């Protein structure tokens, strides 16, 4: 699905490959298309359900999760999505049809294809740590490279299930993993439907990204207004309200600065009169995934 390296002896030469955007009735054409479509160094496929075999109807089916970067001049990134794939087998034991059903609409896939790299959602290339729990790995692969509002309903339900499972296990809080830049990739609404806790309103355009930068004693919230060229920065000191390493772990952010910054260098900034107090619980912290609960009405 990424490299085009298919086992020729398993497919008929005139095998039909069907997905929601295309249909190709040629093994060689399908392989050649895959070879030039995805960047194999930045793309991946995972089998997320064991293959099932229906001997009576001569069908093999399974589910995979895919994500990656297309080899186009503007380097568009395709967010992770799931595929139900069905292989139909002929009397000679060869695959004569490969049919794909995606968890995302074809229109969304086409939209991402034409999105330039600077507007791609955040994506992490961090390798899986050896001690990362399997449910954390699955959640990371689901949300990595996604925007908070870009999930189909079944994927959102699975992500919420995994979050509840992770939170219930009350993993140890690894304080040393907090410093760094974290991107918002998934959001469960708060009790009253609240989302991101913002001190000032600004347009929530589809291509804007949101980040938090932590040190051991400070936090900086970054919200894009018009992509990376214009953003709001709100920050202040960070205080642990308990010194234990158990979760949930409560923090207080004392917000004392705000500004709007323009340009790639972010040197042209206009101060904003922002101050206040924010409370949040840290409910999971690993090397590449953090889950927090906003206690100011957000998610």
CB 69 within 8 A of CB 38: yes
pLDDT tens digit sequence for 34-52: 888 899 888 989 999 889 9
pLDDT digit string, tens, across residues 209-234: 999 999 999 999 999 988 888 999 99
Q: Which residue numbers in the chain have pLDDT < 70?
A: 190-203, 266, 297-298
At residue 151, the pLDDT reads 87
Which pLDDT does position 9 carry in this prediction?
A: 93
**Cβ pair 139, 118 in contact under 8 A:** no
**How confident is the model at residue 138, as a pLDDT?**
94
Q: Give the per-residue pLDDT at 174.
A: 93
Q: What pLDDT does 110 receive?
A: 87
Residue 152 is predicted with a pLDDT of 84
Q: Tokens at residue 209, please?
A: 């990204």
pLDDT of residue 116: 87
The pLDDT of residue 202: 61
So what's the pLDDT on residue 136? Answer: 97
- Asked whether the whole model's pTM tops 0.85, one would answer no
pLDDT value at position 207? 87
* Residue 245 Cα distances to 104, 182, 234, 249, 254, angstroms: 39, 20, 27, 8, 22
| Cα angle 140-144-145, degrees, rounded to a multiple of 5 | 175
* pLDDT given for residue 198 in this prediction: 54
Nearest to 297 by CA among 283, 280, 272: 280
């Amino acid at each position: 699905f990424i490299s085009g390296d298919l086992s020729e002896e398993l497919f008929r030469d005139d095998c039909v490959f069907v997905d929601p955007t295309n249909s190709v009735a040629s093994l060689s054409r399908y392989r050649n298309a895959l070879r030039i479509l995805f960047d194999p160094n930045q793309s991946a496929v995972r089998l997320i359900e064991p293959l099932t075999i229906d001997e009576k109807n001569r069908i093999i089916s399974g589910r995979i999760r895919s994500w990656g970067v297309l080899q186009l001049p503007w380097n568009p990134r395709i967010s992770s999505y799931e595929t139900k794939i069905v292989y139909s087998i002929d009397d000679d034991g060869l695959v004569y049809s490969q049919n794909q059903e995606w968890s995302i609409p074809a229109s969304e896939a086409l939209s991402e294809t034409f999105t330039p790299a600077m507007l791609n959602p955040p994506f992490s290339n961090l390798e899986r740590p050896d001690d990362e729990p399997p449910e954390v790995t699955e959640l990371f692969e689901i949300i990595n490279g996604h925007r908070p509002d870009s999930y189909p309903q079944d994927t959102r339900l699975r992500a919420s299930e995994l979050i509840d499972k992770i939170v219930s296990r009350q993993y140890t809080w690894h304080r040393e993993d907090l410093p760094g830049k974290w991107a918002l990739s998934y959001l469960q609404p708060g009790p009253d439907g609240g989302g991101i806790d913002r001190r000032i309103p600004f347009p929530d355009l589809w291509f804007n990204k949101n980040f938090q930068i932590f040190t051991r004693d400070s936090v900086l919230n970054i919200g894009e207004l018009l992509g990376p060229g214009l953003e709001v920065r709100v920050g202040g000191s960070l205080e642990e309200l308990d010194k234990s390493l158990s979760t949930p772990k409560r923090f207080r952010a004392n917000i004392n600065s705000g500004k709007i910054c323009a340009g790639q260098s972010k040197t042209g900034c206009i101060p904003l009169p922002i101050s206040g107090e924010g409370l949040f619980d840290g409910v999971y912290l690993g090397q590449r995934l953090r889950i927090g609960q906003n206690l100011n009405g957000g998610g």
